[in-house]
Amino acid sequence: MSRPDFKKISQSLNYLAIKEGGSIDCLKAVKLLYLAERLHVRNYGRLITDDKLIGMKKGTLGSCTKDVIELKQEHLSKMAYEYVEARIDRSQITNQIITSCDANADELSESDIECIDKIWKSLGEKSAEELITLTHDLPEWKRHKYSIESGERKVVDLLTSDLFTQTDNDELDKIFSEDRNLLEVSKDSYSESEDIMQKLTA
């Protein structure tokens, strides 16, 4: 997998905050971005931000996205830390709120924005708690449901092939309703990209 793109993560969070009116609940932003990532990889064979996708008690999310929101200096490079600090207002972080400081979205492609917009249009009115419940119905989270809920593991790496699996949730299935042929092409493209990156980093 490629290294997570902190610029795209920051701009995506800003974009969502702006759509929410300038500020957005952190958990809500994390869930919406994850779902946009899932939609994008199913349609275009790549993730929006190349984030490492993980599962936790409150559902699915991007690992670096979590670090960006929490601004964990020990987990971010100096460049990433300074970039995020200048673009996301965390003054209300104790209330789990982040505010956009930058409307620039030049790192996001048309397809990135298309998928974020589609997720926003479908789910933007939901609360963070409702989105957490929804992500618990994703097959990539259900695979690890027992180990997470039992407390055996707090964090799990998601199996990327599960991103291409159909859900058994009617609301999610309306969003993730790609043509089967397109889905196979996207899955093959993503798998090939992962194989190439593994060989380059071996």
Say whether pLDDT at 202 is over 60.
Answer: no
Q: Which of 122, 38, 32, 106 is nearest to 69 (CA)?
A: 32
Q: What is the pLDDT of residues 150-181, one digit of tens each?
A: 999 999 999 999 999 999 999 999 999 999 99
Q: Is a pLDDT exceeding 80 seen at residue 195?
A: no
For the stretch 93-150, pLDDT in tens is: 889 999 999 999 999 999 999 999 999 999 999 999 999 999 999 999 999 999 999 9
Q: Are 9 and 17 in contact (CB under 8 A)?
A: no
Task: Tell me the average pLDDT across 6-17.
Answer: 97
Q: List C-alpha distances in Å: 28 to 24, 44, 50, 116, 175.
A: 7, 24, 20, 13, 17
In what helix (H) or strand (E) does residue 197 lie, and over which residues does it extend?
A: helix 180-201
Q: What are the distances in angstroms from CA 183 to CA 77, 115, 186?
A: 35, 15, 5
Of residues 185 and 2, which shows the higher confidence score? 185
55 confidence band (pLDDT: 50, 70, 90): very high
Per the confidence metrics, is the pTM higher than 0.75? yes
R_g of the chain, CA atoms, integer Å: 16
Asked whether residue 201 carries a pLDDT value surpassing 70, the answer given is no
> pLDDT class for 73, splitting at 50, 70, 90?
confident
Spatial distance between the Cα atoms of 138 and 163, rounded to a whole number of angstroms: 8
Phi first, then psi, for residue 168 (nearest 5°) are -115, 30
Which amino acid is present at 30?
Answer: V
pLDDT at 1: 54
Using the CB atoms, write b or e for 135-156: b if 16+ within 10 Å: bbbbbbbbbbeeebeeeeeeeb
